[in-house]
Structure 1
Amino acid sequence: MAPEGTRADASPDDGAPADGSAGPVSRGSRPEAASAAELTEDSIVRFRSDRPQRGWRGALYKITGGLVNPGVGAAERARQDQLRRIRRPLPGSHQIAVSSLKGGVGKTTVSACLGLVLAENRGDRVIALDANPDAGTLADRLTAETAVTVRNLLDNIAATHSLTDVARYTSLAGRLQVLASEQDPAMSEAFNRQEYEQVCEVLTRFYNIVITDSGTGLVHSAMEGTLARADSLVIVGAPTVDGASRASKTLDWLVAHGHEAQVADAVVVLSCDRMSKEVDLARVRGHFDARCRAVVEIPHDPHLATGGRIELPRLRQATHDAFLGLAALLADGFVPRAAAVQPAPEQVPG
């Protein structure tokens, strides 16, 4: 194994003696074309990705102060690949809808964790919008700040011209911006398709990724707008009889209403908070694999099971890795579309 920092394509012809010693370099032997262009990051930096961070490899590397570098293992390399996918450049703005036919399967939890993972690992702006017309709990799970809501933004939308204006109505969870739903059910019923699209018109001007935590059910007006504007669709279910049935019926409804293409490109998330050995998980997964682009299983996690405020560092490693996988799958869709030749979100000077 070559020592850390040694280029794999180095050869005796590169100017070093065949015995590996540095050797004297005379003025006359220097390449005439030598310039600052040779001192690139690729040529002189020992990349962090070559340094193991986890498992026995990471422990050995740290104990020896980097003198012994066994390289990264397959699992860590796969994680690095996921992070590269998550961080890929995004042309314009991308809207992700997280939906389910009924509540109680972890839809809001998936929306929150997906938003946190994307915001933590990207350098652009990500916002999670609670579009539930029935006093949604997204903000409760992320920031516990619900005094200002999407209704306040709508009331002042004509005067919202900048990122600073939008920020008056959002709260912050790490690097993720959160726009809460109206908490008064009597008022939130008025959140219809037209108003949802007005909000999205503003958000996509300033945010690269907009994650919509859709309301339960599929027939309310705001859901029509959510599906019409979604670039990516996440359907949440569970590996139980009722949880799997609800997710499959969601797909049936979408197909029956002209959303076949979105179903084929959708990602199904199976939230494994409730599981039974009597349920054939492989068969449940196989059902959705045949209908959608991908299936992701989120393992049971004690931190998420409390129903309280979500903090990424408190997730089990397997749970965090599952959400990284989900984010990477969705980031695979961050490619230009013929209909998505849209301007990038406006940048803030300075």
Structure 2
Amino acid sequence: MPEDDWQRAVLGDVAASADEPGPPPAAPNPAPVSPPPADVTAPAQADVPAPAVADVPPPAPEPPAPAPVLPPEATALLTGKPRRGDSVPRRLGRSLRGIVGSSAARVTAEVTAVARQLQQPVTTGRQIVVTSVHGGAGKSTVSALLGCAYAHYRPDPVLVMEANPTLGTLPVRLAAPSLRWTMSDVAKVVNPSMRFDQVIGYLVGLPEGGWLLPGSKGQIGARVSLAEYQTVAVALRRYFAITVVDCETLPGELARSALAGAQARVLVAPATAEGVAAARTVLEWMGSVPRPMLPGTVVALNSTSPHTAIDLEAARRYLRVGDVSVLHLPYDRHLAAGGAVRLPLLGQEMRDATARLGAELLDRAVRR
């Protein structure tokens, strides 16, 4: 089978079993138990053949009870429709410029080129890890944006994993309907012999496309261990063309391991003077470790305010360490309001920036 046909071996199992209902996800088969040696003094009923141990299917793990992404009291706080990223005057102005402007053809060509990059073939599963200089930089939001963009542009399976401390916002940002299995749960049952339809039974199907594996269900004290992450990341990689990992903040042990094993990396930093300074320090550290992490790294300068108070071009020059590229994510009213990320509601600038970031990361991931 050719290398670029890797998904047929995984997804073909689903088509082969389409006519019959698939079995529920099952734990790994236990090792066969050897029967005890025959007892020459056993009574006559010993001649009755014993049931074959190997024919008894292992019991499926008891599914955890589903948990809401937000408690009902918090959900009741939401009022009205989600806010659009662009105001009405801004959308009208852009429409008029697109009609009478001479740059419409150039914009169309740029959008087409970025879409082609996002849809380029992937021969083996690629992992893209998202981390940040500190909490609150927008790491989970960037992870959700990338997961939604890849699922929107690509026909092959896309997975978003949460390898983050508890009480993360990734399930909220991805509009997960509820949470059941966590990464710790899946680490106990996943094995290489599972079919694709069994694997996705442990995941959360997302409204925008793709699947989510949460790190927790919001419990205090429940964390993803390094061993659990490595087990799941290695086992699930073969099933998904692209895996986006919302990782813990540097310099945690899990973050260092995830970054070292990824094909592309995103360092999210606030578009502020202190955020740029911290990002430069992190980049210098990433280039000094025994296994350098700078190759395949992109810095995402995230504006959380409508007025950016730094010189973005000067910040790009300051952060160009090695072959690191720097992209700016502009302020967006839809994202600033919180809640689920909806691609159609993003402002045009944010949609374009998200597509460029996803294309740049995929280019770097494919080259490695």
Using the size of structure 2 for normalisation, the TM-score is: 0.68
Contact 2:140–2:170 (Cα < 8 Å) also in 1: yes
Residue 98 of structure 1: CA displacement? Answer: 0.7
Does residue 1:202 correspond to 2:244, yes or no? Answer: no
Alignment of 1:12-91 (within 5 A): 73-91=105-123
Amino acid at match of 2:195: S
Residue 246 of structure 1: CA displacement? Answer: 2.6
Amino acid at match of 1:177: W
- 2:122 partner SS: coil
Amino acid at match of 1:112: A
Query: Aligned residue for 2:187?
Result: 154
Amino acid at match of 1:198: T
Amino acid at match of 1:178: L
Query: Aligned residue for 1:187?
Result: 222
Deviations 1:100-159 (A, max 9, x none): 131111111111101111110011111110000333221121124333321221232249
- 1:105 partner SS: coil
User: Which deviates further from its counterpart, 115-124 or 291-300?
Assistant: 291-300
Residue 264 of structure 1: CA displacement? Answer: 4.1
Query: Aligned residue for 2:170?
Result: 138
Task: Tell me which of 157, 161, 178 is aligned to 2:212.
Answer: 178
Does residue 1:266 correspond to 2:297, yes or no? Answer: yes
Amino acid at match of 1:179: L
- 1:243 partner SS: helix
Query: Aligned residue for 2:251?
Result: 218
Using the size of structure 1 for normalisation, the TM-score is: 0.71
Query: Aligned residue for 2:326?
Result: 295
For residues 252 and 196 of structure 2, the distance between their equivalents in structure 1, rounded to whole angstroms, comes to 32
Amino acid at match of 2:231: Q
For residues 71 and 241 of structure 1, the distance between their equivalents in structure 2, rounded to whole angstroms, comes to 33
- 2:364 partner SS: coil
**Alignment root-mean-square deviation, CA:** 2.5
- 2:338 partner SS: coil
Q: How many residues align?
A: 271
For residues 307 and 243 of structure 1, the distance between their equivalents in structure 2, rounded to whole angstroms, comes to 21
5+ long unaligned stretches in structure 1: 1-53, 61-69, 338-350
Does residue 1:229 correspond to 2:264, yes or no? Answer: no
Deviations 1:212-263 (A, max 9, x none): 111123223x223302310001111122122222322221222232343x31
Amino acid at match of 1:335: V
- 2:161 partner SS: strand
For residues 291 and 121 of structure 1, the distance between their equivalents in structure 2, rounded to whole angstroms, comes to 30
For residues 358 and 333 of structure 2, the distance between their equivalents in structure 1, rounded to whole angstroms, comes to 21
